[in-house]
């Protein structure tokens, strides 16, 4: 029996388009001899629909879409994810389900039992847990069907319900064999997650001596990036076949007993996955929101250079406008590097000097600022002038304005509200500074795209004479490690100091993180690539004074 796994890139709420894709890919699977084709979690609506699930019109549209899809599917079993309404008035109104269509009717349902409510997930807000599912049978084969979190129970949380183990225990009582575990997912990308998935899923294969079929969503959805990379494993956890990353794809499993490669197919360059995810994220965010072009400031620094390279790969060089906005403190080297980058990328390049505007701003403020020395205020004025000019270009030409601040800067507030934080999408706001340099090396792996001087020179905002980031911040390798322990590891002052870091420095870094929460609440949406990004997956109050 041949089984197809299809990883879709849906648009949330575009039921007609999403269902057309399901129908078209199902026809391709049939033409390739498949008896079963599998699609991801909530493939009909797209994931995550969030509070659209509280709108009756949205639920009605989904019901109609599923009804129409059932009549349009070819003659093979088609499994896809959708939400279903519950008739019981107690509890939540919906199930997160996997359904199977056969000969124009639903012949099987499996409802998600474990509903994640951590980090970016909030499924208990909308869904009721399902009951243990029955065995899905096709052509003499017996399958355990699960939805996303149901196969992560032993890794993420110590749940009382263990869907896979419970399923196999029930099957053993009935003396019924299980030929494979199927999991439909909308599992977001983050660094190192591909390896984690394969470890967790291979344990299921080994523990129950059963193959594992994993079908994951692909595409960017707001800040979430879904990598796809669906695969089939044999009963010892070896990879039989794997789909492409970060693009729609279909793979065919034609023999569940085939022996796979134990070493799997992880990317050899760790930053490659992050880079591909960010490219996909920019492309999908722009196109799904109706943009075909983007604009960004090019300072000659590493952050804007990496962001520009990502943007060009996402939208095409002809659709990217890089703008140099030199101030009285900008060095000739920085302008030359920005211009060289634009030439190397083949993108459009313009220059707008802010010197006269900066002088005009200071003149307007002089009556109020007299007898007060220049300080951070004047530095921020330059950043805000740049932000206004870039937003004007965005408004006039319908360019998506990309901001270029990295996670290290965002964490400690080394950025200007309404200045360099102005924009529609913060491309690298979840990328720590050290990883920015790794991405630059990856971009330059075959030829020099980012000028060598951009990578080698000391980072600087160039908002005052002889400025350097390290005048105000610890070295980035130290800063990034402290921030990782605090933001992703949840560690406080005492725990981080016990690791050998100097206490006053740690306290200062965590103080900056705490005090700049208000800035991040007003920042553009960013693309998530780490285990804990700024945004709706990290919920801290602006007003608080917990200092541990």
The residues annotated as belonging to the active site are 41, 112, 148
Write out the two tokens for 32: 């390739």
CA distance 462 to 428: 20
Helix (H/G/I), strand (E/B), else coil: 315: helix
CA distance 190 to 118: 15
CA distance 222 to 204: 32
Residue with tokens 């937003």: 391
Of 207, 183, 193, nearest to 38 by C-alpha is: 183
Helix (H) or strand (E) holding 2: strand 2-7
Cα separations in angstroms, 39 against 7, 36, 107, 221, 389: 6, 10, 16, 17, 45
Q: What is the SS3 string spanning 225-254?
A: EEEECCEEECCCCCEEEECCECCCEEEEEC
Cα separations in angstroms, 393 against 339, 390, 397, 459: 19, 5, 6, 27
Can you spell out the DSSP letters for 390-427?
A: HHHHHHHHTPEEEE---HHHHHHT-S-TTTTT-SSEET
CB count within 10 Å of CB 548 equals 8
Cα separations in angstroms, 114 against 97, 118, 132, 157, 165: 12, 12, 11, 10, 13
**DSSP conformational letter for 188:** B
């Amino acid at each position: 029996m041949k089984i197809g796994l299809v990883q879709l890139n849906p648009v949330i709420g575009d039921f007609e388009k999403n269902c057309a894709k399901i129908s078209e890919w199902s026809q391709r699977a049939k033409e390739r001899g498949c008896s079963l084709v599998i699609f991801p979690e909530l493939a009909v609506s797209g994931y995550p629909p969030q509070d659209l699930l509280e709108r009756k019109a949205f639920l009605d549209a989904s019901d109609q879409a599923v009804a129409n899809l059932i009549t349009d599917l070819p003659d093979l079993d088609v499994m896809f994810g959708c939400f279903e309404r519950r008739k019981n008035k107690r509890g939540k109104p919906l199930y997160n389900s996997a359904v199977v269509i056969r000969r124009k009717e639903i012949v099987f349902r499996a409802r998600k039992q474990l509903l994640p409510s951590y980090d970016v997930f909030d499924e208990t807000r909308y869904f009721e847990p399902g009951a243990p599912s029955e065995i899905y049978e096709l052509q003499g084969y017996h399958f355990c069907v699960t939805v996303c979190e149901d196969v992560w129970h032993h890794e993420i949380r110590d749940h009382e319900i263990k869907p896979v183990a419970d399923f196999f225990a029930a099957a053993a009582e009935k003396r019924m064999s299980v030929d494979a575990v199927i999991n439909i997912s909308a599992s977001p990308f983050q660094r190192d997650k591909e390896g984690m998935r394969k470890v967790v899923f291979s344990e299921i294969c080994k523990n129950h001596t059963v193959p594992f079929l994993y079908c994951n969503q692909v595409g960017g959805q707001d800040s979430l990036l879904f990598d796809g990379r669906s695969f089939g494993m044999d009963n010892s956890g070896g990879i039989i076949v794997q789909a492409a990353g970060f693009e729609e794809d279909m793979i065919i499993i034609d023999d569940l007993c085939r022996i796979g490669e134990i070493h799997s197919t992880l990317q050899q360059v760790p930053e490659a996955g992050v880079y591909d995810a960010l490219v996909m994220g920019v492309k999908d965010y722009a196109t799904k929101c109706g943009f075909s072009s983007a604009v960004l400031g090019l300072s000659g620094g590493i952050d804007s250079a990496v962001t520009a390279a990502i943007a060009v790969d996402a939208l095409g060089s002809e659709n990217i406008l890089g703008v140099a906005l030199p101030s009285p403190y900008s060095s000739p080297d920085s302008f030359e590097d920005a211009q060289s980058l634009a030439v190397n990328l083949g993108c459009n390049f313009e220059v707008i000097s802010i010197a006269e505007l900066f002088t005009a701003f200071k003149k307007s403020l002089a009556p109020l600022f007299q007898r007060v020395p220049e300080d951070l205020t004047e530095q921020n004025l330059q950043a805000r002038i740049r932000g206004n000019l870039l937003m004007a270009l965005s408004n006039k030409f319908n360019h998506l304005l990309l901001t270029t601040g990295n996670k290290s800067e965002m964490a400690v507030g080394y950025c200007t509200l309404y200045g360099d934080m102005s924009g529609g999408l913060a491309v690298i706001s979840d990328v720590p500074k050290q990883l920015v340099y790794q991405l630059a090396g990856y971009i330059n792996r075959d030829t020099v795209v980012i000028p060598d001087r951009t990578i080698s020179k000391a980072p600087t905002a160039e908002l005052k004479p002889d400025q350097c980031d390290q005048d105000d911040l610890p070295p980035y390798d130290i800063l990034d490690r402290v921030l990782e322990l605090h933001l992703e590891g949840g560690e406080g002052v005492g725990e981080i100091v016990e690791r050998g870091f100097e206490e006053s420095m740690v306290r200062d870094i965590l103080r900056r993180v705490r005090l700049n929460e208000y800035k991040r609440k007003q920042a553009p949406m960013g693309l998530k690539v780490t285990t804990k990004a700024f945004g709706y997956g990290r919920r801290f109050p602006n007003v608080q004074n917990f200092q541990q």
